[in-house]
Amino acid sequence: MGGITVAAVAARGGTEGLPEALRAQTARWHEKVEAVADIPGRVRTRADYIDLLGSLAGLHTGLEAQLSAPVWDRAWVDVGVDIAAHCRVGLLVADLEGLGVPPAGSTVQPPFPCFGHALGCLYVLEGSALGGRIVAEMVRAAIGAVPTAFLTGRGRGHQWPAVRHALRRFDAQDGDGDAVLAGAVSTFALFARHLAAPELQR
């Protein structure tokens, strides 16, 4: 981070706030995870797609369990978030079942040390949903008709504005923006490590 904190970026004035500061500070991580994931390049067969969904299901199950922990219930309400509306593991399970594959166990994640970390994680998870419809079209073009509820966000609506609103409310409440950044970076790093696993780089 080069010693520049989210608070410093957000304090530069203009129209910038916590969402914009996070985007600037995590841009390299976003590019790294996108390159490692390389969904259009790695999904060449139905088996490849099943492996990818299974891996993502394990991660999402563990992370969403921590996001939904009762300890954060009041904090989510305070920033205007219905956390259940942001959980997507059910869509992953539906896709896997549609492919005739039972979902594997989750990748257990440790509790978040503070709410800022949880909000940073949500920022990454919800940001990853953007562009999912385009990726779904690429997957279907490569391997034919397959369930893509997770990629298309079937039935869940557009949740990204709610995350941006939550970040602004958290910032207005003098929340720790650097904790949000730390949570986002740790989530990006987790996805980068997980998606770089040898069995997913065939």
Residue 31 lies in a domain: no
Mean pLDDT for all residues in the chain: 88
Four-CA torsion 121, 114, 70, 53, nearest 10 degrees: 20
Rounded to an integer, what distance in angstroms lies between the CA atom of residue 16 and that of residue 39? 32
Question: Tokens at residue 105, please?
Answer: 């166990």
What are the tens digits of pLDDT across the range 145-162? Answer: 999 999 999 888 789 999
As separate numbers, helices (DSSP H) first and strands (DSSP E) second, the chain gives 12, 0
pTM of the model: 0.88
Q: What is the mean pLDDT of residues 186-201?
A: 79
Residue 137 covered by a domain: yes
**Whats the size of the chain, residue-wise?**
202
- Specify the long-range contacts of residues 104-108, CB closer than 8 Å, at least 24 apart: 104/54, 104/57, 104/58, 105/58, 106/57, 106/58, 106/61, 106/62, 106/65, 107/58, 107/59, 107/61, 107/62, 107/194, 108/62
Residue 53's pLDDT is 92
Rounded to a whole number, what is the distance in angstroms from the first to the last CA of the chain? Answer: 32
Tokens found for residue 31: 């590019």
- Residue 128 domain-assigned (yes or no): yes
Residues 123-140 pLDDT 10s: 999 998 988 888 899 999
Flag whether 10 is in a domain: no
23-68 pLDDT per residue, tens: 999 999 999 998 888 887 889 999 999 999 998 998 999 999 999 9
Q: Tell whether 24 is covered by a domain.
A: no
Question: What pLDDT does 70 receive?
Answer: 97
Structural domain boundaries, residue 109: 41-200
* CATH code where residue 50 lies: 1.20.910.10
Domain count, the chain: 1
DSSP class of residue 111 equals P
What per-residue confidence (pLDDT) applies to 202? 47
Residue 33 inside a domain? The answer is: no
3 domain-assigned:
no
Is 74 among the domain residues? yes
Is residue 164 scored above 80 in pLDDT? yes
